[in-house]
């Protein structure tokens, strides 16, 4: 089976130019990280607070999402018996599975598949392994698994979630339930024919020009943009994207992100985000 590939409609002058979304959702995975690593008396914490204050300048267009609100959204939908096995997509999906399990007991056995979405340089994205091991070889034994959960943090285009689900044997997929904290409603609908999916928050609208999702960590740290042949980047290193997301005050946010990055990644190399 050929690997799935996400293709965007883009401007010829910049294959990754971003339209200005009507609604930008920012998941706050940065505050806890800075608080735990640097402390709330640190310069990094003060800069983080400044950054979030600035991002709240347009509350009708820029919406901040918290972990607790998204987990609450999942928990109000239905309860599940513990799954025989759960697969977290990347570190983010594994972390979400652990956070949900701590509250529900749903995922007593969690495995991780190390895959990520990376740019192909032509305006599209491919799913690539971060461990060098093909995806199908990373999957745990599943033939005798009575129930399976596949967990990710975000379903934006749905590329990574669909890639994992399509790598499962058909009979196993019939016993699978997918989970995410947040997703674009249209992308979640594309997952539904493969297996049921539950989301803590679903945003209506077209990708990119009506709705977009980012993680606050990706704004500041070199975990947001990945390439096959060069180091990852932070979003602040893409000024065109920042100006699309924060029109009129992007330069202020970029400056804060640069200052915060100097404290969190002082040697210029990507930090190991939890």
Collect all residues with Cβ–Cβ distance below 8 Å to 256 and sequence separation of at least 6: 47, 50, 51, 54
Top pLDDT among 151 and 267 is at: 151
Given a cut of 60, whether residue 262 has pLDDT beyond it is: yes
Helices (H), 152-249: 159-167, 170-173, 185-191, 216-220, 239-245
Given a cut of 80, whether residue 5 has pLDDT beyond it is: no
The pTM score is 0.92
DSSP state for residue 236 in the 8-state scheme: G
Region for 164 from its dihedrals, namely left if φ exceeds 0, alpha if ψ lies in -120 to 50, beta otherwise: alpha
pLDDT of residue 88: 98
pLDDT of residue 4: 57
The percentage of residues in the chain with a pLDDT greater than 90, rounded to a whole number, is 85
pLDDT, the chain, mean: 93
pLDDT of residue 19: 83
pLDDT of residue 1: 42
HSE (CB half, 13 Å, CA atoms) of 47? 21
Give residue-wise pLDDT tens across range 155-191.
Answer: 999 999 999 999 999 999 999 999 999 999 999 999 9
Domain 69-195 has CATH 3.40.50.10070: no
Report the alpha-carbon distance of residue 274 to residue 268 in Å, rounded.
18
Where along the chain do its domains lie? 20-66+206-224+233-264, 69-195
């Amino acid at each position: 089976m050929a690997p799935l590939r996400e293709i965007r409609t883009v401007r010829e002058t910049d294959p990754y130019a971003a339209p200005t979304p009507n609604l930008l959702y920012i998941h706050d995975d940065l505050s806890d990280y800075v608080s735990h690593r640097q402390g709330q008396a640190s310069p990094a914490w003060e800069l983080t607070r400044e950054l979030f204050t600035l991002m709240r300048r347009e509350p009708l267009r820029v919406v901040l999402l918290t972990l607790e609100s998204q987990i609450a959204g999942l928990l109000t939908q239905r309860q599940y018996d513990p799954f025989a096995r759960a697969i977290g997509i990347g570190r983010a999906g594994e972390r979400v599975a652990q956070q949900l399990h701590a509250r529900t007991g749903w995922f007593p056995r969690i495995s991780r598949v190390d895959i990520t979405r990376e740019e192909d340089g032509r305006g599209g994205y491919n799913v690539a392994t971060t461990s060098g091991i093909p995806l199908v070889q990373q999957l745990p034994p599943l033939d005798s698994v009575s129930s399976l959960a596949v967990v990710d943090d975000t379903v934006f285009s749905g590329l990574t979630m669909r890639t994992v689900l399509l790598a499962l044997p058909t009979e196993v997929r019939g016993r699978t339930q997918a989970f995410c904290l947040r997703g674009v409603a249209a992308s979640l609908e594309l997952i539904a024919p493969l297996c049921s999916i539950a989301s803590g928050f679903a945003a209506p609208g077209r990708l990119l020009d009506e709705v977009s999702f980012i993680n606050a960590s990706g704004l500041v740290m070199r975990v947001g943009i990945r390439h096959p042949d060069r180091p990852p980047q932070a979003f602040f290193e893409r000024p065109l994207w920042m100006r699309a997301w924060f029109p009129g005050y992007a330069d202020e946010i970029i400056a804060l992100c640069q200052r915060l990055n100097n404290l969190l990644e002082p040697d210029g190399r990507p930090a190991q985000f939890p």
